[in-house]
Structure formats: structure tokens, C-alpha cells
Amino acid sequence: MWFPGEAAIALGGPQPELNQLAPEFTLLGNDGEGEIQEFSLQDYRGQWVVLYFYPQDFTPGCTLEARRFQQDLPKYLERNVQVLGVSVDDVDSHEAFCDAEGLKFPLLADSTGDVSKQYGSYLTGYSLRHTYLIDPEGILRKIYLGVNPAIHSQEVLTDLDSLMANSSAQLPPMG
């Protein structure tokens, strides 16, 4: 049986394998504090990473999703989790988007689409709305396809709590 959402998801390309090393990357991005720098996945060893791909800065769904991640950012930081947004927009667009929306987490510029393609999240010039949870050892633990921007951040937090409870990566001490 065919479902409309499945065709679009499949067109993004093959997904990386769960429980294997997540594809490495280095991209330029806005750090959320107005600085442009290089970001590499390997820089986040020792902490969980929420790597979320989205189609375009300043569009309604992408803005809603970014706002939700920003709203929940203190909860991610309490858990020692890094949120990284990725789209094919350039660093100037990301800087303007961060400024306009008050985003304090990095947005990475995948201008060539190469990283989006590595993650099976690229279609006709845009990144698809997919999210990947990567553990402190760099292992891909969860893939989200067909994300609902309004509730996605809460869904990710719930899943992170479950994954963290079942792994050797413990929550940092509170206080």
C-alpha cells in the first residue's frame, strides 16, 4: 500500500544506518552568538547531538521548528545536548535568521547539499525536514522522517530522556 508521505521521504536518498557511526562533516555556520565558524560533528564527542535538517530559513514551518528548539534550549543544555540546525541556506541567511528569531544554537550552511545528501535529506536544492539523534560516541541512535515542526522538539526531548536512561551516557549533575 502506498502512502503519500513515504514517496517524498524516500526521495531524500538512503538513510545512514542506525547504531553505526553517524556521517562526519565540517560546515561553516552561525554559532547563535553572531560569529561565523567551522563546526564538525567530531567536536561534539562526549555529548548528545540533535542534528536537524530543514528546508529554508524564514519559511513558516522552519521558523516554527527553530522557535520550538530555541524555547526548549535550556532543557537541552541541562542534558548536555547540542542542537545543530542544517539547511542549504548560506551563512548570511543563517545569521539574519538567528538575529530575527533570537536563536542561540548553531545553524550550519550546507550550501552544496553534500551533508544533506550524506544523511539522505536532500531533494531538488533543499534539505528535507529530518532529524538525527547522535550519542556521545558519535553513533546514530534515532532517525525522524516526516517531522511535525510544532511538536518535534518535545518529541526529541522525550526520546533523548529514554535513550539516555538506557545508555552509558548519564545526565550531568544538576546544580
**Residues forming the active site:** 62
Contact 24, 118 (CB under 8 A): no
**C-alpha distances in Å from residue 10, one per residue of 14, 24, 78, 112, 120:** 7, 22, 35, 20, 8
Report the amino acid identity of residue 78: E
Three-state secondary structure call for residue 61: helix
Per the listing, cell 560569529 goes with 35
Q: What's the alpha-carbon Rg for the chain, to the nearest Å?
A: 15
Three-state secondary structure call for residue 46: coil
Which is nearest to 51 in space by CA: 81, 79, 30, 75?
81
Tell me the three cell numbers of residue 119: 544523511
Contact 88, 110 (CB under 8 A): yes
